[in-house]
Amino acid sequence: MGREFLMKKEAAALVLSFALLAAGPVSVKAADGDTTQTGHHATTGEKLKTSFVDSGTLASLKHWDLDTIVKRAIDNSYNLSLLSMKLTALKQNESNLKDQKKELDKAKMDTGSGSYTLPTSPDEIMKKYFPPDQMPTEPPLWLGPVIETNTVVNQVMNGVGGIASALNKQLQSQREQLEQGLEQLNTEQSNTLLDLEMAKDGAELQITSQYVQLLSLDKQIELAEQYLELLKRDEHRASVLQEEGLASSETVMNAQRAISDQEEQLESLRENYQLALIQMCFDLGIVYDPEITLEDIEYTPQPVTRKDNKALLENSYEMKKQWNAIVQAKNEEYGTDAANDHQEDYLNTMTRISEQQAEQTRVELSKKISKTYSDADTAYRAYRTAEKDLAEANQDYIHMEARFNNGLVSSYDFYKYGFTLTQQELARDLTRLQVYMANKAADKMEEGLIK
């Protein structure tokens, strides 16, 4: 009896301690409100420190190739850095929650046997404290106060036992919440790892697209410069013929207009190229230099080989995240002791929502898979057409060269036709780069990034 009574008193004291602790933060917050905050905050009319807004040290890179640019894009990606730090923070928080759970697992309030009570009737007291042969004929004077005291003590012990039982339920609820928190952390860690792979593949695909665009503009500028030289030859020839009375002033004026139009187009191409170059320099942390040179992409186009749609979806980053969402929803549904039917229905509905979202994602990704392969097929067909046109232009050029060698074609006309061949070569080269980009997107899709 003595041990159990003392345990219940300790439980009552612990409850009082919890109450005092619960009241503590009120006074702490009141004190904090009177405390002057330290540090210098940014306000209007003040400038930030240069060290805070400085972009840092930029690298100097005069010649670019795709492999170097891709590596630098991944190494300097803010998104990848933030995701890596997020993953580290999640792991640290997981360790924190595991430590908290260990402490909670140790915590338990002893409620006692719950069956022992002090005697509260005259007969019970007399039988407990007097042997049968010494039973008094009249109730002792102290019997009344003892009955009253025992009744009060029984009520206190029952109350403390109820409080201890309630605290145990609260501790168990906290354990369940921590377990759910750990499950959610595991899901978030898995999703963050998937986000890391998505960000890495996305950065590679994005910077490759920018490099291909920049390279294409560079090639177009080179062709536009050659065409401008051809137009200047036309204008010079027209001027000479006009002096000899063999061409009108209108012919010369048209040639000059063609030169002016081509100069505008060339200037527009150069501006677009420099803007794209500046943007890439910012993205890569490279010192801008208008004279940066680009290395061509060595690539022989091949038709894309389609993979099974189901296999692509199974390996998709997005579908894996949807799977994680379903697992998380089911864990919460089956791992939660619902307080009522409404909460049970809610958890079930959340599981159904996650399953529906997965189905929606599956349909959307299937469309993207079809489009990615279709784009690759279209690009390859365009390349084959450009290759055929180039082969025909080459054949015509050989015939033109033979006529030129036999004196049947002027050097002016022969040079002009040679430029037509150059145009076809560029057209074939640009479609080659388009095939490279389309097949790159298909490759990344097969790795898991469906865009």
Instruction: Examine the pLDDT at 51 and tell me if it is beyond 70.
Output: no
Mean pLDDT (the chain, rounded): 84
Q: Per DSSP, which regions of 317-423 are E strands?
A: none
Model pTM score:
0.75
Say how many C-beta atoms besides its own lie within 10 A of residue 303's C-beta: 13
Residue 55: strand, helix, or coil: coil
The residue extents of the domains of the chain are 307-322+361-451
Q: What is the pLDDT of residues 426-441, one digit of tens each?
A: 999 999 999 999 999 9
Type of residue numbered 312: L
Q: How confident is the model at residue 422 (pLDDT cuts 50, 70, 90)?
A: very high
Give percent above pLDDT 70 in the chain: 81
On whether the CB atoms of residues 212 and 433 are closer than 8 A, the answer is: yes
Q: How confident is the model at residue 96 (pLDDT cuts 50, 70, 90)?
A: confident
Average confidence (pLDDT) over 36-46:
63
DSSP string covering 111-177: ---S------SHHHHHHHHS-GGG--SS--TTHHHHHHHHHHHHHHHHHHHHHHHHHHHHHHHHHHH
Instruction: Examine the pLDDT at 153 and tell me if it is beyond 90.
Output: no
Type of residue numbered 117: T
